[in-house]
Amino acid sequence: MKEIIVACVLFLISVLLFLLSFRSFREKGILFNNAWIYASEEERKIMNKKPHYRQTAIVFLLLGVVFAINAIAILTGIDIFYLVAIAVVIATVVYAVVSSVKTDKK
């Protein structure tokens, strides 16, 4: 019973992350990006937000996938899903770092 509750919570978190990702792909809502958060008011006025929204959307999408995979692993009991989730987390971190560097260079 505990596994089902934990899986439901993980699926709920996954759905919320997918919704945040969808809104970021549409460039709507709050921009959850360090470049935007730490920028001054003057920088925000001239900043191109499109690459930051895209980066945020992709990261939220990948994190949503991680939570969904973990929920599936808990429900099915197949341990290989945990390895897949770890691989997606590593890919997410690598993407976030590489895309931040590329965005800063532009």
Q: Smallest Cα–Cα separation from 90: which of 68, 71, 65, 57?
A: 65
| Per-residue pLDDT tens digits for 14-65 | 999 999 999 999 988 888 887 777 778 888 788 888 888 999 999 999 999 9
User: What does the pLDDT look like over 77-106, one tens digit per residue?
Assistant: 999 999 999 999 999 999 999 988 887 776
Which tokens belong to 74? 């808990």
- pTM, rounded to two decimals: 0.88
The contacts of residue 28 (CB under 8 Å, 6+ apart) are none
pLDDT (0 to 100) of residue 104: 72
* CA 97 – CA 34 distance, rounded (Å): 12
Rg of the chain on CA atoms, in Å: 16
The whole-angstrom separation of Cα 75 and Cα 77 is 6
Residue 23: per-residue pLDDT: 94
